[in-house]
Structure formats: C-alpha cells, structure tokens
Amino acid sequence: MTIDLTALGWDAERAVHARRHPGRRPGRVARVDRGVCTVFGADGPLRATLGPAMLAAAAGDLTRLPCVGDWVLLRTWPDGPVTVECVLPRRTALVRRTAGKDASGQLLAANLDTAAVVEPVHPEPDVARIERLLALAHESGATPLVVLTKVDLAADPAAIARQLAGAAPGVPVLPISAERGVGLDPLRAHVAPGRTLALLGPSGAGKSSLVNALAGAVVMPTQAIRRVDGKGRHTTTWRALVPVPGGGAVLDTPGVRAVGLFDGATGLDRAFADIAELADGCRYADCAHDAEPGCAVRDALAAGELTARRYDSWRRLGREVTFETRRREARSAAERRSGWRSARRRTPRP
C-alpha cells in the first residue's frame, strides 16, 4: 500500500526542512497511543516509537512530543524498528490548558487548515461552549468554522444558524445532518487535497458521523443519541487523522468535558470581535469595562446592543486567560531562579 503524502499536506516547504536531516523519511502522525505513533508514510501506515533525540527534546516541554497531525521524520534501524526522530515545524496548533497545576498546555492537534466547532442543535445548542471553542480555534491559527449537527431533529435549523451567528462574528455557521446527508457540500470544500479539517466538540455531537460521511465509509464508531434528551455517549476516545478519498484529511478529536484556554488572548479577541471593536472606542486604553466612565462596552450593554449573556461570557473567558498568563509567567520566573541557583552551585569558588 502506498500513500500520496502530498494529498495529506506534504509540500516543498516541508521538504526543505526534511533535507536538513539526511537519511530520514517523512510521515504524518495519524494517532498516538502511549508514546507509540501510527504514522502515514509513503509506503503505507506504520508504527513508530520515540527516538532518543525526540525524548531528549521533549524532556523539558511535553508539547515537543509528536501529536496527531504532526509531520515527522522517521528512522528505520538495521534490526527493523522505526523511530520518530524529530517533529517538523508546526504551522498551526490546537492547545488547551491542562487540568494540573503546572501551568502547561496540552497539544490536541497540529497542522490544521480549518478548525470546526461541532455543536448539536438538539436539545439546544450551548452558546457559551461555542464561544469558548471558537476562541481555542482562533488561537490555533486555523480558519474557524461552526458546524451545527443533527439538524434533522430541529424544526427550523436555518433559524437556529441565524441566531447563533451573533456568537460567531465573521465565522460561517453550517447546519448539517450527517445521517441524511444534508448540508455536507459546504463542509467538503474544507477537505481538499493537501488540506486538513479538524472537528472539535463535546461527546455525542456527531463528530464521528461527520468523519464517516466525509470519508464515504465507516471509519469511526458511532452510537445513536437518546431521543429523550438528545445526548450521545462518548464513542471516540482517541484523536485520529483520517485520509479522505480524493485528497485531504479529517481530524477527529474525542469529546472533552472542559476545555481550558491556555494562551488565548488573540483567540479571545477574534472570537469576540464585536466586543473588541467596541472596546476600541472606550475613553481609556486600559478600561476594565466595569464601572469606568466612557466605557463603550458598558454603553452598548445598557443600550441593548450587547447582550448580558455574551458580555458575561467574554468577561469570564478574559479572566481565565489572564489567570493562565500569570501562572505561566510565575512558572517561567521560578524556572529562571532555579537555573540561576543551579549555576551558582556549579561555579567553583576562586
């Protein structure tokens, strides 16, 4: 079995990076299982462990480990094993905050061209979740998209899409039913030769059904939703890159209970572009948008031009981003102090 790597995104720029490592061959990571990578190479899929150089590079920063969507360089050893030797530079990256206290980020996926926020319309879309995931998508560097799934269960899906457009300024909102094949063509445009579409959303949102519909085959397991409350069960527990016939790939991510923003200041401004534009009109550049005079954001809120729900969501996510930024800065300062003390201990006395 051979694989056309250019259909998965291999290009001249990546080839330049690869030539700096002679004797290594390229591949794209399709899945990672406890340090073992499933990689699409030119000769077909293969399993590769992490090489010593790869482990050393990631010792101080786990985000340097390969993740789904990464382009990597492989080495085949004389006795047969294959190892991942390095990760090529990422063009985009989807990073969320980890649940621990180490102020670090978890890399969900890399090298995405489009990041689609997938949200079911039944029983009711969670607007705050859409806003949070859109901030994450914007921050990744990929083109954001909102996909409303299971629209066959809604009386007027077009009306729901129009209502949600206010929570996604400048972002297309696509109502889709994978079960009935409705609305898939606009989404297919984001899965073209050399391009990757990532699906981000909660369990039961229908991401696996979308992957199957785009791939034209059952490649991901699915389960029917409960008609009582419209909820589905967690069917996919791993992130996977799935090639699509004709070129391109879809990247399915497992549903997450909570997505913490790690470094989302830019993404937050883009996800709330309407409020960011209002903030530019505030009297003071450092306006906290609380009780300051001449606050354009508060004026829009009082005039009914900005809903209290969206304002509260923006403020909540802003506080989260500020908190995470301070945690990272504190961690960096502590590491610098630790390095300085270690250097002093190693310096011999005159």
pLDDT digits (tens, 9 = 90+) for 154-190: 888 889 999 899 899 999 999 999 888 889 999 999 9
Decide if 171 contacts 144 (C-beta within 8 A).
yes
> Would you call 331 exposed, middle or buried from its count of C-beta atoms within 10 A (0-12, 13-18, 19+)?
middle
Query: SS3 breakdown of the chain: % helix, strand, coil, rounded to 5?
Result: 35, 25, 40
- Strand partners for 143: 114
Cα(83)–Cα(3) distance, integer angstroms: 19
Minimal CA–CA distance to 120: which of 159, 156, 155, 147? 147
Q: Which residues pair with 25 in a beta bridge?
A: 74
Confirm whether 345 is domain-assigned. no
Residue 346 lies inside a defined structural domain of this protein: no
In a domain, 98, yes or no: yes
85 and 193 inside one domain = no
**pLDDT of 63:** 84
Q: 292-347 pLDDT, tens per residue?
A: 899 999 999 999 999 999 999 999 999 888 887 777 666 667 666 766 666 556 66
Pick 207 or 106 by higher pLDDT: 207
Residue 349 within any structural domain of the chain: no
Among 234, 236, 192, 187, smallest CA distance to 213 is for 187
Report the alpha-carbon distance of residue 242 to residue 311 in Å, rounded.
38
* Contact between residue 153 and residue 125 where contact means Cβ atoms under 8 Å apart: no
What is the tally of helices (H) and strands (E) in the chain? Answer: 10, 14
Same structural domain, 149 and 208: yes
Structural domain span for residue 294: 260-338
68 and 159 part of one domain: no
Q: Are residue 193 and residue 101 in the same domain, yes or no?
A: yes
Q: Are 241 and 196 in contact (CB under 8 A)?
A: yes
In the listed set 220, 252, 284, which residue is the last one of a domain according to the structure? 252
166 and 194 in contact (C-beta within 8 Å)?
A: no
Both 155 and 187 in one domain: the answer is yes
User: Do 62 and 125 sit in the same domain of this protein?
Assistant: no
Give yes or no: residues 282 and 303 share one domain.
Answer: yes
Rounded to whole angstroms, how far apart are CA atoms 96 and 108?
7
pLDDT tens digits along 211-227:
999 988 777 665 554 44
Last residue of a domain, one of 219, 252, 285: 252
Q: Do residues 214 and 273 both lie within one domain? A: no
131 band by pLDDT with thresholds 50, 70 and 90: very high
Give the distance between the most distant pair of CA atoms in the chain.
82
| CATH number assigned to the domain comprising residue 308 | 1.10.40.50
Average pLDDT, the chain: 86
Pair (278, 247) in one structural domain = no
With H, G, I as helix, E, B as strand and everything else as coil, classify residue 228. Answer: coil
* Three-state SS annotation for 47-58: EEEECHHHHHHC
Q: Does 240 reside within a domain?
A: yes
Cβ atoms of 104 and 62 within 8 Å: the answer is yes
Q: What is the mean pLDDT of residues 3-28?
A: 95
Would you say residue 344 lies in a domain? no
Task: Report the CATH number that the domain containing residue 44 is assigned in CATH.
Answer: 2.40.50.140
Q: Is the domain of 209 the same as that of 291?
A: no
Question: Of 66, 89, 112, which marks where a domain is finished?
Answer: 89
Q: Are 310 and 271 in contact (CB under 8 A)?
A: no
CB 43 within 8 A of CB 79: no
Tokens 């830019």 found at = 266
Two tokens, residue 267? 């993404």
Domain count, the chain: 3
Pairing of strands 173-175, 71-76: unpaired
Q: Kindly list the distances between the CA atom of residue 220 and the CA atoms of 111, 211, 238, 270, in Å, as whole numbers in the listed order.
A: 21, 7, 10, 32
pLDDT value at residue 229? 46
Are residues 230 and 112 part of one domain?
yes
Residue 228: inside a domain, yes or no? yes
What is the per-residue pLDDT for 66?
Answer: 95
Same domain, residue pair 11 and 144: no
Is 348 part of a structural domain of the chain? no
- Order of strands, edge to edge, in the sheet holding 260-261? 105-110, 93-97, 260-261
Whether the bond between 123 and the residue before it is cis, its omega within 30 degrees of 0, is yes
